Chains A and B, each alone.
Chain A
C-alpha cells in the first residue's frame, strides 16, 4: 500500500488529535496551531486529489487489523478527495477572514475553546467524507452537530443562545430520524460497512423482500439529513443560527456544516442504498418537490428581509433547494449539478457572510440596509468581494454560479416533459428573485450614505487577514467559473468511482 493512501486517515486523525491538544493551549498558540493544522489538511487533501487522479480508481483502507465484514474502513476516491480539498480550503479561508472579529465576539478566555470546536468540526467533516462505515458516519454527524452548536453559541448574546438551542432541537430531531434509519438498515442487512450493505440491499431489492421497510429506511435517512441541512420546510432555525453569530461561524455553518450532511446523503444514495433502489421507492420525488418549493420560497423570504445577514441566510435556504433539486432528479447529470453546486455555493456563501461582516463593520456595526448605504466605498475590498459573490449567486458568466445554473439546466433537459418544464420555470423564477435581492443589495452598497450619518472608518481594523481571505475567495469563485471543465469532469469521474 502506497504512503499517499494513508492521507485520508491523517486528515481525520490530525484535527481530532489537535482538538484535544488545543484545549490546553493559550489563545494565541491555539490560533496558530489551528491555522497550521488546517493548512496541512488542505495541502494533504490537494496531494490526495492529485494522487487519486493518477491512480484512477477508488480503494478502501483498513482501520485496525480486522478485514472487511468486521473491521472499520475508510474509502478514498476522487470525489472524496475533491470534496475534502474544497471543505478544508473553505474552512481555512473562513477562519482566516473572521479571525479578527473573534476578538470582539468571543470571550477572551474562551478563545482556545473556539479553535477546539473548529478542529472537531474539521475532523467530523473529513470523517463524513471518507468513512465507509455507516455507524461511524452517524457518530461524526453528532460530533458535527455539537461543534456547530458551540460555534453558534460562541458569540455571547441572548439571540445566539436561543438560536443555538433551536438549532440543537431541530438537529436532534434530524439525527434521531437518521439513527432510526441506520438501525433499521442494520437490522435488515446485518452489515455496517457501506459496500456490504449495498450488496445486501441489492439482493433484497432483486428478490422483492422487505420493500416497505426499505422505503421507510430511505425516507427516514433522507428526511433526517434534510432536516439537518435545512431543506425548505425544515429551515426555521436557519436565519437565527446564521444571522447573529460571529461571521466566521456563519460562514462555516452555511457553507460546510449543511453541505457535509448533503454529501453524506449523496454518499448513502450511491454507496449504501443504490440509485435504482432509491428510484424504486420514489423518495427522490419528494426531495425534488421540496427543493423546487425551497428555491422559490427561500428567495421570497430573502427579499422581505431588511437585515443583510438574515437575507443571506434565507438565500442559503434557496440554494440548498437547488442542491436537493439536483439530487431529486435522480439522474447522473442531476447529481453532478448538485455536487458542483455544493462547491460553488459553499465558496460563494462563505465569502458573502464574511464580507457582510466587513461591510457592517464599516457602518457602525449595523446590518440594516439603510445604514449599509455607501459601505462599499468605505470598505472597498469587502464591497468588491461581496459584489463578486452576489454576481455568482445570480449566475453571472465567468463565475461559479453560472456554471451551476448551466449544469442544472442541462440536467433538466434529459428529464421527462413535465419535470423539465418545472425545473426550467423554477430556475428562471429563482434566478430572477436572486437578482432582485442581490443586485438591490449591491446597489445599496454603492449609493451615497444617508445625510447625517457619520461613520468613522476604522483603518486597519479588518486588516490583512480579512483582505487576504476575500481575495482568495473571489479567486476561487472565478476559478470555479473559468476552470469549470476540468472540475466538472473530475466530479463526473468521482461519481463513476462512487457507484
Chain B
C-alpha cells in the first residue's frame, strides 16, 4: 500500500468523500454548496497530482530542449481549468437558487423549506 507516497491522491479522495457526504446529507444549503466545492476541488487535486511528474517542467520551450522526457503533459492542467469553469458556473447557479429560497422561506434548511412548501400547497 502506497498510502504515504501517494499522499496527494489520498488527500484528494478524503476531500472528495467529505464533500460528497456534505452535499448529500447536510441540510444547510450553504454547507451543501461548500461540500460541492470541496468535492470538485478534491477531483481537481487528484487530476493535477496525476498530471505532474516530479522534476519535470511545463511544456514551454525556451532553451531549445524538445525531448519529451523533460516536460509534463499539459492536458490534465487544461482539464482542471475546464472543470473549474464548470464548477464555478454550477456554484453560481446553486447560490442563486439558495438566495431565492431564502427570500421566500427565510431559512436555509432544506428540510424546513420542504415542509413549508407542503404546507403552502395543502
Query: Are A142's CB and B43's CB within 8 A?
Result: no
Total cross-chain contacts (CB, 8 A) = 80
Instruction: Kindly report which residue of chain A lies nearest to residue B94, judged by CB atoms.
Output: A168
Instruction: Kindly report which residue of chain B lies nearest to residue A191, judged by CB atoms.
Output: B75
Residues of B33-68 contacting chain A, CB below 8 A: 36, 39-40, 43, 46-47, 50
Query: Does A173 lie at the interface of the complex (its beta carbon under 8 Å from any beta carbon of B)?
Result: yes
Query: Does A486 lie at the interface of the complex (its beta carbon under 8 Å from any beta carbon of B)?
Result: no
Q: Which of B20, B86, B100 has the most CB of A within 10 A?
A: B86
Complex CA gap A169/B26 in Å reads 11
Minimum distance in angstroms from B51 CB to a CB of chain A: 8
B89 interface neighbour in A146, A158, A183, A187, Cβ under 8 Å? A146
B43 interface neighbour in A165, A183, A192, Cβ under 8 Å? A183
A161 interface neighbour in B20, B32, B86, B104, Cβ under 8 Å? B104
Render B55-94 as a binary contact track against A, CB cut-off 8 A, 1 for contact: 0000000000000000001011001001100100110011
Complex CA gap A19/B7 in Å reads 44
Query: Are A176's CB and B29's CB within 8 A?
Result: no
Classify the secondary structure of A's interface with B. Answer: helix
Complex CA gap A149/B97 in Å reads 10
Complex CA gap A142/B82 in Å reads 11
Minimum distance in angstroms from B108 CB to a CB of chain A: 11
Complex CA gap A158/B29 in Å reads 16
- Chain B residues positioned under 8 Å from A172 (CB to CB): 23, 36, 90, 94
- Chain B residues positioned under 8 Å from A142 (CB to CB): 86, 89-90
Instruction: Kindly report which residue of chain B lies nearest to residue A179, judged by CB atoms.
Output: B43
- Chain B residues positioned under 8 Å from A168 (CB to CB): 90, 93-94, 97
B110 interface neighbour in A145, A165, A179, A192, Cβ under 8 Å? A165
- Chain B residues positioned under 8 Å from A161 (CB to CB): 97, 100-101, 104
Query: Are A187's CB and B93's CB within 8 A?
Result: no
Query: Are B90's CB and A158's CB within 8 A?
Result: no
Q: Which residues of B contact A (CB under 8 A)?
A: 16, 19-20, 23-24, 29, 32, 36, 39-40, 43, 46-47, 50, 73, 75-76, 79, 82-83, 86, 89-90, 93-94, 97-98, 100-101, 104-105, 110, 113-114, 116-117, 120-121
Q: Besides the contacts A146-B90, A165-B29, A186-B47, what 7 more A-B pairs have beta carbons closer than 8 Å?
A: A168-B90, A168-B94, A169-B23, A169-B24, A172-B23, A172-B36, A176-B39
